[in-house]
Amino acid sequence: MDDHKLMREGLKQLFDGEDGIVVSGEARDGEEILEFLQNKTADLVLLDVTMPGIHGAELVKKIKKLPNSPPILMLSMHNESSVVISMLKAGASGYMTKDSSPQDLLSAVRKVAAGGRFIAGDIAENIAFEAGSATTMQLHELLTGRELVILRMLGKGQKVIEIARELNISSKTVSTHKARLMQKMYLDSDVKLMQYAIAHGMAD
């Protein structure tokens, strides 16, 4: 029995009997996943970064191009920031390593299936504050132009109402952009947002 099959069997045992979680299918490689999703619907795809055939960011992009594509949670042995960021930029909604606890995995599955985002805390911290090389992708690269502008303004200590006045938009719109950018960057507090902005030279 190969390692991937062992992993699939272990995951099925973990999910078996869990309220609200039903395994509707499994695949040995990327081609099987695409074939399955072209014929059936799913609320979530749990994807190994290094599975046989089409895999990684290429597979994520192909899945996201399908009609009614489900959210994707990556499960991998890799925790390098560049790998994680490439999966998120390709369209994955979450990323976990295979040494995560079963309970963390179950929580991630439920959150991503419900439309949320999830990334293991230690990985998010490494990405957010890693010095990295100039070629390393950063979390703020996931943002739209308007979200990036608002991130910089927030990083400089400007309040929502001040940003709204300067950009000539409503405070509610600014708050919506703020919530979205924090979700995309896996930041769960204003303090972490400020720390990120300072660490990346956005608060000058």
Please give the C-alpha separations between residue 5 and each of 10, 28, 29, 42, 52, in angstroms, as whole numbers. 9, 8, 11, 20, 12
d(CA 148, CA 160): 14
b/e code 135-155 from CB counts within 10 Å (16+ = b): eebbbbebbeeebbebbbbbb
CB 137 within 8 Å of CB 72: no
Give the pLDDT of residue 72.
95
pLDDT digits (tens, 9 = 90+) for 169-181: 999 999 999 998 8
d(CA 181, CA 52): 33
b/e code 185-195 from CB counts within 10 Å (16+ = b): bbbeeeebbbb
CB 21 within 8 Å of CB 109: yes
pLDDT digits (tens, 9 = 90+) for 128-162: 665 444 445 577 877 888 888 999 899 888 999 99
- How crowded is residue 33: how many other Cβ atoms within 10 Å of its Cβ? 24
Please give the model's pTM, rounded to 2 decimal places: 0.65
Choose among 49, 45, 51: nearest CA to 5: 51
CB 43 within 8 Å of CB 70: yes
Confidence of residue 199 (pLDDT cuts 50, 70, 90): confident
**Read out DSSP for 83-106?**
HHHHHHHHT-SEEEETTS-HHHHH
